[in-house]
Structure 1
Amino acid sequence: MKRFVLRGFYTAALLFTSTFALTSCDSSADEEATFSLTDNGVFILNEGNFGTPNGSVSYYHKGTEQFELDVFGKNNDDQLLGDVVQSMKYFDGRFFIVLNNSNKIEIVDHETFKSEGVVQGLQQPRYFVASTNGKGYVTEWVTYGSRGRVSVIDLATYTVIKTIQVGFMPEQLLISNGKLYVANGGDNTLSVINTATDAVENTLQVTNGPSELVLDKNNQIWILSAGKVVYKDDWSGIDYTKTTPGALSRLSLTNMAVEATYTVPSNQSIPKNLSINGAGDKLYFNYQDKTYVHPIAASALSTTVVLNRSFYGMEVDPETGNIFGSDENGFSGDGTVFIYSPAGTKLKEFKAGIAPNGFVFN
């Protein structure tokens, strides 16, 4: 459920310090250590099994290499988080955890991870962002085969105050200069919403299947599109005579136009897991079972391979440049997290929860 391909930093002031007993993920260290969830670490999002509320959030402390499996359950009286942890976003001292099949957003305090509230009544929610005017936005697929929507959330009451119809199967979204950009993964458009009026003011055409967005240091949006996947009439496999390849595109926010589109060489592999480094000048993505790095100044699609493997989920640490990737291990038991240096040297691997699909850096 993590990503749509036709298949199923934080700046808040620390007001107080709360410590947690964490058990090492290194079998050579048996003693317990205590530290705050606001320390230098990484939250790992574990989807769990579809149809079962066993999604979780893990925490990995980068300095001590200590690990905590289920920070939500351990700080909320063993309460289950929900069904399919899709994504998580930080804003104003809180984490907003999107639960796709539970149709809700769980809001937790970023220091204690205790629940502060829930946004209920969503329909297949995917990704969340917040603006400085007290509103949050979440993409929802609603119903397969119909146009999706963005719900506007009052961050004081955690209630939906408006819905905005967008394209089919909307995925990632981001805010820049008062505009909300929504990737409509089920078609070939990007919806542009004015956050003052909460109305769609523009619809831009891009390559089929746009799903992932990042903002670079030049205030340009990069869009990773999966392409259009077409199945055979008997659903026995993909019809590659009709399937289109994916692409990496650059959108200028100055003239609101796609200025460059770099189409991948083959329609038989779907590009995924777009991430950007802390300096905002290098993009990373998976394609054909490899991990590529693409400088934003490049005039053609990069062929530079950092790793001869791809991942279920992947993000680049904005502080160190290390690559965090995951393997869902067939959704059977715990998944595996890998850490690689920017040059591609393997630094560490350890088990996380079921189907780790993403990382949020503290």
Structure 2
Amino acid sequence: MKNPHPVKRFFLHVVLASTALFFTACDPDSSPAAPKGAYEKGVFILNEGNFQKGNSAVSFFDRDTKTVVPDIFKTVNNRPLGDVAQSMAAHNNRAYLIINNSNKVEVVDINTFGSLGTISGLAMPRYFAAVNNKGYVTEWVNYGSKGRVSVIDLNTTTVTKTIEVGLMPENLIIFNNKVYVVNGSENTISIINAGTDALETTVTLAYSPNSLVLDRNNKIWVLAGGKKVYNPDFTVNESQSTAGSLIRLNPVNNAIELNLPFASRKDSPGQLKINGAKNILYYRYAGKIYQFDIAATALPTNALLNRNFYGLDVDPATDLIYGADAGFFTANGKVVRFNPNGTPLDSFQVAIGPNSFLFR
């Protein structure tokens, strides 16, 4: 068979190339995904507001345009969020907003922030985590009494069970189908089996654990504030108080592998956070921010930031450090961002009492 004429061969190549381009352009798999909502990508800032004023809010920061939307819950749902926003968590394209003094959890679509329901009947709720389509909420219940963890059916957004834990339970994490809860007014962690929703064991460690994270080696780090005894003038009685500690816990056997006490009995460390690579810890102590490599065996002596913040976190996508400056709760607060080496980057205004962040 003869080869086509050179001119015919040229036009044949043009037709084939055009046909390939047509099918590529029409291939639905090559088209960019449609946006899921206005808040699909960015940073949520939770602002707790003033006690009994019902003026808590969620601000949204767009990393690309550096613009801020001040109160997205009220804007989308045409009603206020509630009284004292304590914390915020995400699970399966939903956000769970824990509103402490309103004794509820607001559930929203995390991409649009449209309301999906309200979990009520809680008692001074603090923090939320989820696994197996179940949510777990820590609750103080009453000052001076045992706290509890409420188990939430996330399909119906209803409480199905409550589990008694220690005094004033605070933050919690879930690992290997276990729920680890720090009890803020004693020296214990409660461990709940997420399969049976029963208290499995209690681990004793330093007094007043307040926050915990899971590192890349699947070790749990706990920050404890220490026990504080106060003088009549409300200063700390250092001779009767205990120092805080940074503790590494092995969840395989619940053994304490490392216990690093802080130098001062007066100051309480808090706000333990971890970077995206899960190898660097950050925490607040004595009015400054410190950085700690998980391979280290001694606490750092030099601060990363000589500033104190009401809220602290690290963006896992960029490693930028976010500090929440609440001021005196008499006006809008602000967020200050820092590069990983501690140099200032920028700042922006949010609402009253910023206390925490959620990154997307």
Q: TM-score, normalised by structure 2?
A: 0.89
One-letter amino acid of the counterpart of residue 171, structure 2? Q
Runs of 4+ in 1 over 4 A off after TM superposition: none
What letter matches 2:193 in structure 1?
Answer: N
Offset of 1:357 from its aligned partner?
Answer: 0.3
* CA 1:153–1:16: 2 relative to 1, 3 Å: farther
CA shift, 1:299, in A, is: 1.1
* Structure ID, larger Rg: 2
Matched-pair contact (CA < 8 Å) for 1:104–1:118 = yes
SS of structure 2 residue aligned to 1:75: helix
For the residues of structure 2 that align with 1:135 and 1:358, how far apart are their CA atoms? 23
SS in structure 1 at match of 2:122: coil
Which residue is equivalent to 2:100?
100
Structure 1 residue 17 and structure 2 residue 35: aligned? yes
- Map 1:151-230; keep pairs closer than 5 Å: 151-230=150-229
Alignment of 1:276-315 (within 5 A): 276-315=274-313
Instruction: Tell me how far apart the structure 2 counterparts of residues 281 and 304 of structure 1 sit (CA, whole Å).
Output: 19
Alpha-carbon distance, 1:304 to partner: 3.9
Q: Distance in 2 between matches of 1:323 and 1:50?
A: 27
Residue identity opposite 1:344 in structure 2: G
Change in Cα spacing, 1:235 to 1:106, as seen in structure 2 (3 Å) is farther
Instruction: Tell me if structure 1 keeps the 8 A contact 2:210–2:271.
Output: no
- Gap runs ≥5 in structure 2: 1-31
Q: Aligned to 1:330, what secondary structure does the other structure show?
A: coil
Aligned to 2:54: 53
* d(CA) in 2 for partners of 1:338, 1:138: 29
More helix by share: 2
Instruction: Using the TM superposition, give the Cα deviation of residue 236 of structure 1 relative to its aligned residue in structure 2, in angstroms.
Output: 3.6
Q: Determine the C-alpha separation between the residues in 1 that align with 2:297 and 2:219.
A: 15
Distance, in Å, in 2 between the alignment partners of 1:217 and 1:305 is 23
Aligned-partner SS, 2:332 = coil
CA contact 1:215–1:222 (8 Å) conserved in 2: yes
**C-alpha contact 2:73 2:81 (8 A) present in aligned 1:** yes
Q: Are 1:265 and 2:255 an aligned pair?
A: no
Structure 1 position 215, deviation (Å): 0.4
| Shift of residue 319, structure 1, vs aligned partner | 1.1
Q: Cα offset for 1:306?
A: 1.2
How many Å separate the matches in 2 of 1:349 and 1:287? 22
CA distance in 2, matches of 1:236, 1:348: 36
Offset of 1:93 from its aligned partner?
Answer: 1.0
- Asked if the contact 2:47/2:58 (under 8 Å) is kept, the reply is yes
CA distance in 1 between counterparts of 2:318 and 2:106 reads 29
Q: 1:38: which partner in 2?
A: 40
Residues 1:74 and 2:92 aligned together: no
Q: Kindly report the root-mean-square deviation, in angstroms, between the aligned alpha carbons of the 2 structures.
A: 1.3
Residue 35 of structure 2 aligns to which amino acid in structure 1?
A: T
Aligned equivalents of 1:16, 1:105: Cα separation in 2: 29
State the shift of 1:92 in Å. 0.7
The residue aligned with 1:335 is 333
Query: Aligned pair in 2 of structure 1 residues 235, 305: CA closer, same or farther (>3 Å)?
Result: closer
Cα distance in structure 2, aligned partners of 1:220 and 1:359: 23
Residue 168 of structure 1 and its aligned partner are, at CA, apart by: 0.4
Q: How many residues align?
A: 329
